[in-house]
């Protein structure tokens, strides 16, 4: 499946799921062996690692967090237009910082763990129109 492109259907089917409140971001020259990262992002300044806070700390890194991870379970196309803008706008209006990673199938939003419940309410409201 290539994913949904229609913004109306994407918003209606977002079905956000809270997937943990203990995520952290850290940077290293390379990922420590055995560290189960959710994602890695190669940047000029180093390798950004996204993993559970405790595991980043245990690996000797200094993580920033804790962050909540919300996954939009609708399967969106990488060519879809407007989904990120729509949910980012709603979260911004609520004063919530959002850091977005688009996977092949789903969008993942990382935000301060303290804002998770409010973010879920806002996202569900957007989805329900």
Q: What is the CATH number of the domain that holds 74?
A: 3.30.2130.10
Residue 48 lies in a domain: yes
Residue 26 lies in a domain: yes
Residue 40 lies in a domain: yes
Supply the range of the domain harboring residue 32: 7-127
Rounded distance, CA 98 to CA 110, Å? 6
pLDDT tens per residue across span 71-99: 999 999 889 999 999 999 999 999 999 99
Residue 30 lies in a domain: yes
pLDDT for 38: 97
Choose among 76, 78, 70, 71: nearest CA to 10. 76
| Predicted TM-score of the model (pTM) | 0.94
Residue 61 lies in a domain: yes
Residue 70 lies in a domain: yes
> What total number of domains does the chain contain?
1
Kindly tell me if the per-residue pLDDT of 1 is higher than 60. no
């Amino acid at each position: 499946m290539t994913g949904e492109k229609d913004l109306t259907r994407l918003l209606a089917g977002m079905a956000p799921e809270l997937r943990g409140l203990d995520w952290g971001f850290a940077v290293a020259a390379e990922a420590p062996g055995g560290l189960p990262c959710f994602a890695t992002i190669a940047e000029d300044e180093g390798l950004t690692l996204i993993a559970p806070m405790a595991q980043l700390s245990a690996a000797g890194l200094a993580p920033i967090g804790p962050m909540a991870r919300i996954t939009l379970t609708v399967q969106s196309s990488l060519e879809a237009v407007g989904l990120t803008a729509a949910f980012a706008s709603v979260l911004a209006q609520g004063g919530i910082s959002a850091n977005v990673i688009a996977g092949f199938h789903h969008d993942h939003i990382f935000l301060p763990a303290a804002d998770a419940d409010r973010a879920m309410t806002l996202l569900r409201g957007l989805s329900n129109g």
